Amino acid sequence: MPGDNNIDQTIKRDDATPPRAAEKILGVARELFYRQGIRAIGVDEIVKRAGVTKPSLYRSFSSKDELAASYLRGYDLEFWGRFDEAVAAHPGDPRAQVIAFLTRVGKRTQMSGYRGCGMTNAVVEYPEAGHPARVVSEENKRELRRRLRAMAAEMGAADPDTLGDGLLLLIEGAYISGQLFGAGGPAQSVARNADLLIGASLAR
């Protein structure tokens, strides 16, 4: 699976009883979008698998684009949940925080059915600026870049922006190579390569 938490958390709840149809739709869309791509999956397939009607989908989501954006907002929450867990596990040690996060990334890339980062995949699928799915994904990547640069500065790097960007490139490379090579591929060593990059940057 693309994340460790339940996608249901992305549904806004106005009372104690969540909209059951919306939960089903988003859960099915999440699985299909991640496994097969957003453009490849039509609304008819989603409602069929969710066991709901098409009007039910459009009562919860104004369009397929909005459904895709909702899926990615949930993905975003899960991503930062994992990132923040790594940070919290190593207070005051940004190098260890980055390595802890990338260790988990490396392990996920070795899992059967791994399809990389849903955000990265969405950006590739939707090159047009302003598309709802692309907007959510771009915001995630920009924030990740900002955080990595800030963490590089905390490490004392002479050129923190370059180090932060280098770490981002390693992460994105792991997402893609994990899909290309699967188990035993280069993505399994992303944490080790990040540590080497950090060490070389700090040694200057």
Domain boundaries, the chain: 7-202
The pLDDT of residue 161 is above 50: yes
Grade residue 204 by pLDDT with cuts at 50, 70 and 90: low
pTM to 2 decimal places: 0.87
Contacts of 53 (CB under 8 A, 6+ apart): 47
Mean pLDDT in residue range 176-187: 95
Q: Which CATH class is domain 7-202?
A: mainly alpha
Task: With a cut of 80, say whether residue 41 has pLDDT above it.
Answer: yes
Segment among 1-5, 77-81, 98-102 with least mean pLDDT: 1-5
Select from 29, 63, 59 the least CA-distant residue to 46.
Answer: 29
pLDDT in tens, 94-150: 999 999 999 999 999 999 999 999 999 999 999 999 999 999 999 999 999 999 999
Q: pLDDT at residue 55 above 90?
A: yes
125-162 as b/e, with b when 16 or more CB fall inside 10 Å? bbeeeebbbbebbbebbeebbebbbebbeebebeebee
